[in-house]
Structure 1
Amino acid sequence: MKNNRIRELREKKKLTLKELAKNIGVSFTTLSKYENGVVTTGKIATWQKLADFFGVSVGHLQGLPLFDEYKNNLTDITEKFSDYNNEYVKQKKELDELKIQYKLLANKFDHNMATNEDFKQKEKILEKIKDLRKNINYSRIELAKTIQQLDESKDILSKELETIDTLIKNNKDDDK
């Protein structure tokens, strides 16, 4: 992995390459190849020793996007989706209730039984319906954006998993 984080993590701990090699039980030459990206896949056991030593995941060590970041991002997006969806459902229910109220008023108008208060009520209901439709459209747009974010995060995670699968496959091939 050419963009791995071994050097960055090693330097944070103020260790030389030789010291790190000794700490994890691999040769200086091997570790140097890993750190400099000469070893593109390497043995999982070596990556795991390094990851354990630094307290990070193998994926993070190899320079892959942080799985936890994506997991947290997905959690945030899912919560956002849930909030927008709940708001959408609430607004839709409120709109349905207003439509019923409007139909009841319309019945009064149809039978010439409407009062001045009914006219005012009708205008209020129509204004609320108009506002709710705007809000519902906004919620629909936000739901669509959130779904797109979920899809993008899913694609990124899929690519990360493919990379990990490739590493595992290459490691099995190396062991043969």
Structure 2
Amino acid sequence: MARTKSPPNSFKLLREELRYRIYLPVGQVSFWAYLVLGVVAFGGLGIWLEIYRLATGASGASLDSLKTAAITYAPTLVGSSMMQLVLADGPVKYLRSFGWSTGLVSLAGSMLLIVHQDALNTKALFVIAAAVSAFAVGLWWVANGTEKVFQDSVSADDPVGGDLGTELPGNTDGFEA
């Protein structure tokens, strides 16, 4: 029985895809604006609110509320990024597998952190939450790195106002030079 050609090494394909998705948006202002404003500022609003409440001594403010906000930020971002990788039209099987794998491992880690938060000292909990949040932002980056909405493209016709072959509206009737 003749063997068929073996499939390509999908680890290499995944590495190249991840590299592409990481470097493509680096020079895109729209991508960075959404990352900073949408993902970090608005996405982390619960954290910012609890920091503000603690800093101002607001009634009912507690370190436990900040811990909860810090611990629950990453799972929501990882979950939405994972779903985006899994459900997107273009990704191939190995990228979907990467999405599922990272999402499920992150979910398990987040659940362990939530369940065992009282066993950790406060500093360790915040360091772990910050590391997991940085990973979550990185996964969001990978999931959105190729999204057209974040790519600041300029058409070659933009400087001249559009296609030069297009007939202009109006007419010159009654115009004398």
TM-score, normalised via structure 1 length: 0.28
Q: Which fold has the larger relative contact order, with Cα–Cα distance below 8 Å and residues 6 or more apart in sequence?
A: 2
Instruction: Give the structure with the higher percent helix.
Output: 1
